[in-house]
Amino acid sequence: MTFTIFSRALHWLMAALILTMLFIGIAMVSSLADYHQLVSIHRPLGALILLLAAVRLINRLFNPPPPLPEGMPLVLRLAAHGSHWVLYGLMFALPLVGWAMLSAAGDPIVLFGGWHLPHIVPHDVMLYATLRQVHTVLAFTLFAVILAHLGAALMHALVFRDGVFASMTVRRR
């Protein structure tokens, strides 16, 4: 049993985009010379990830993932399901908090050229300060969960050899 080709394509596309996004995010907040360039990529990329997260959630409802291997201990099953829902939650939460944060700052939310997003919360700098902090905490959480997800995937591929890793990569014969 594997994920559909569309599901796999979405997974790997988003994996690349989200990792790029996290690295841009952390590089951006320490950079001077590249700050503006990185912010200019960070914003539209965040909007794209939010859009793709919605596509992915809908796709998941129509194409449920293959079941986990029989005989997998309950603890690992719970960890697998739990971490996947945390990943989904963060894929939505991070861009939405980013969007709300810029709205609370009263900043224009420019994507490309004159294309911009509307504000989703009122202008309130105290709210901005909180959301800005939440954005950072969520970003570190997402990176940590991705590392756990990566470690678990490699465990399935190299140690358990139970077909879970292959279900998201190439179709096995």
Partner 1 sequence: MLAMAGIGAVVLGAATAFAWAGGLFSHRLTQTRIINTFEAVNGVHPGFRRNHTKGVCLAGTFQASGDAAAISDAVVFKPGTVPVFGRFALAGGMPRTPDTPSTVRSMALNFTTSNGEVWRTGMNDIPVLPVKDVQGFYDQVSTAKPGPNGKPDPAAFPAFLKKHPEAVQAIAIIKATPFSKGFADDRYESLNAFLFVDAAGKKTPVRWAMVPVEPFQPALKTAPSDQNFLFTDLERRLAKGPVQWHLIVTIGAPGDPTNDASKMWPKDRVKIDAGVLTVSALTAEEDGNCRDINFDPMMLPHGIQPSDDPLLSARSAAYSVSFRRRAGEPKSPSAVQPPARQGA
Under the criterion CB under 8 A, does residue 61 sit at the interface with partner 1?
Answer: no
Under the criterion CB under 8 A, does residue 123 sit at the interface with partner 1?
Answer: yes
**Farthest CA pair distance, the chain:** 57
The least CB distance from residue 26 to partner 1, in Å, is 4
- For residue 146 the two structure tokens come to 């991705």
Under the criterion CB under 8 A, does residue 12 sit at the interface with partner 1?
Answer: no
Under the criterion CB under 8 A, does residue 147 sit at the interface with partner 1?
Answer: yes
Give me the long-range contacts of 84-87 (CB less than 8 A, separation at least 24).
86/145, 87/142, 87/145, 87/146, 87/149
Give the Cα separation of 49 and 92 in Å (integer): 8
The least CB distance from residue 4 to partner 1, in Å, is 27
Q: Which of 148, 150, 147, 164 is nearest to 71 (CA)?
A: 164
Under the criterion CB under 8 A, does residue 17 sit at the interface with partner 1?
Answer: no
- Interaction residues for partner 1, span 28-47 (CB under 8 A): 29-37, 39
Q: Which of 75, 76, 64, 74 is nearest to 160 (CA)?
A: 76
Binding residues (CB under 8 A) for partner 1: these are 22-23, 26-27, 29-37, 39, 105-108, 110, 113-116, 118, 123-126, 128-130, 132-133, 143, 147, 150-151, 154-155, 158-159
